[in-house]
Amino acid sequence: MKLLICFGTRPEAIKMAPICLELNKRQIAFKLCVTAQHREMLDQVLDFFQLVPDYDLDLMQPNQSLNMLSSRILYEMDAILKKEQFDLVLVHGDTTTSTLVALAAFHGNYKVAHVEAGLRTYDKTSPFPEELNRQITGRISDFHFAPTQKAKNNLLKENVYESNVIVTGNTVIDSLNITLKKIEHGYNNAFIESLNETINFNKRVILVTGHRRESFGAGFENVCEAILEISKIYEVEIVFPVHLNPNVQRVVYEKLSSIKNIHLIAPLDYPSFVWLMNKAVLIISDSGGIQEEAPSLNIPVLVTRETTEREEGITSGCSILVGTNTTKIIHEAYRILTTHKGNDKMTNPYGEGLAAIKIVDFIQNNILINE
């Protein structure tokens, strides 16, 4: 049995790393391919989890269009899939990498397994292009590792065979637990030292992130207006690791520079971000991964998106969907900052950190055994 694991972005790497580690633990051989859709941020995660790719396509280019990236992934993967015969190709989530690798594998008549399968908004423009990426990857895939029962139900409604859908929880919780354990055992780095020196952690900390394409322009301006107002009203420290995309940087630095209690910082590596996230009392973000991680840390999230494919967090009260409505963001921040108790225990609807074990169990017992 030959396994190929492919990913290209930092979030994918974070969520696929526990599967790689579990395969290594069981001495199940696999090949790792990265497209490097994110280069520097991807490499940081690979280093942290001590993963070395067998294939590094290094496809990242400045201002690269999605079509150009897609064509290059198909071209490069074609060569790899012809060079080696794989019995199963594992992809993750909703990226251009996952969809195009799955398509390349389908063209080569290889089986595909989709990790974090079944998430849906059913609005192909939100999130863009992730929603349609998920649907396409779901149509191609033979095995579907759904993080929740709701995700499984979405797939069943799309006529996926129930025997091919396995509810596992989300592997991001596995990675979070691994990272928190390392931090508890003294892990430190230059990012964490710098944060300790520049942020007043005696005050309540609000963590902000943003990067979604559908919010470029007026959406990000509205979010920044809300952040500015919150900084004036409350005795808080607001920390905003600013995404490298120029559409984000231009607005954020124009609106929020030189405010004493707003700290605009460079993007953090993964363990430093987990360390900072664990210090926050509130997170304002459009990130999918943060919606999944924060409940394990008992931190509420204001989701600055119009829709979310992670409705379980909304239903359970761990997250609040606020869109890019300035007034709503301010109102919900007020409600949380005045009523939320840091010791309130949340139940994470995305699992307890056993997803990688369940995924590898299925591969070992249902695929390897048939070889």
Domains recognised in the chain with CATH numbers: 3-169+354-370 (3.40.50.2000), 189-339 (3.40.50.2000)
Q: Residue 214: its pLDDT value, please? A: 79
CB 49 within 8 A of CB 10: no
What's the whole-number mean pLDDT along residues 119-127?
93
At residue 41 the predicted structure's pLDDT band, cuts being 50, 70 and 90, is confident
Phi, psi of 299 (to 5 degrees): -115, 125
- Could you give the percent of the chain with pLDDT greater than 70? 98
Q: Residue 331: its pLDDT value, please? A: 97
At residue 261 the predicted structure's pLDDT band, cuts being 50, 70 and 90, is very high
Q: Residue 38: its pLDDT value, please? A: 75
* Token pair recorded at residue 360: 């590898």
SS3 301: strand
What's the whole-number mean pLDDT along residues 226-230?
97
211 in catalytic set: yes
- Catalytically annotated residue among 76, 116, 306, 309: 116
67-97 pLDDT tens trace: 999 999 999 999 999 999 999 999 999 999 9
Q: Residue 370: its pLDDT value, please? A: 55
130 in catalytic set: yes
Residues 367 and 362: their CA atoms lie apart, in Å, by 7
What's the whole-number mean pLDDT along residues 44-72?
93
Residues 304 and 282: their CA atoms lie apart, in Å, by 13
- Could you give the percent of the chain with pLDDT greater than 90? 87
- Catalytically annotated residue among 213, 221, 225, 340: 213
Residues 147 and 116: their CA atoms lie apart, in Å, by 6
120 in catalytic set: no
- Catalytically annotated residue among 12, 22, 76, 94: 94
- Catalytically annotated residue among 39, 211, 331, 340: 211
Residues 158 and 139: their CA atoms lie apart, in Å, by 9
pLDDT at 282 over 60: yes
At residue 345 the predicted structure's pLDDT band, cuts being 50, 70 and 90, is confident
Q: Over the chain, what is the mean pLDDT?
A: 94
What's the whole-number mean pLDDT along residues 289-297?
96
At residue 343 the predicted structure's pLDDT band, cuts being 50, 70 and 90, is low
- Catalytically annotated residue among 12, 76, 130, 292: 130
243 in catalytic set: yes
- Tokens 């996230």 sit on residue: 277
State pTM to two decimals. Answer: 0.93
Q: Residue 369: its pLDDT value, please? A: 58
305 in catalytic set: no
Considering only 24-38, 278-292, 337-351, which range has the smallest mean pLDDT?
Answer: 337-351
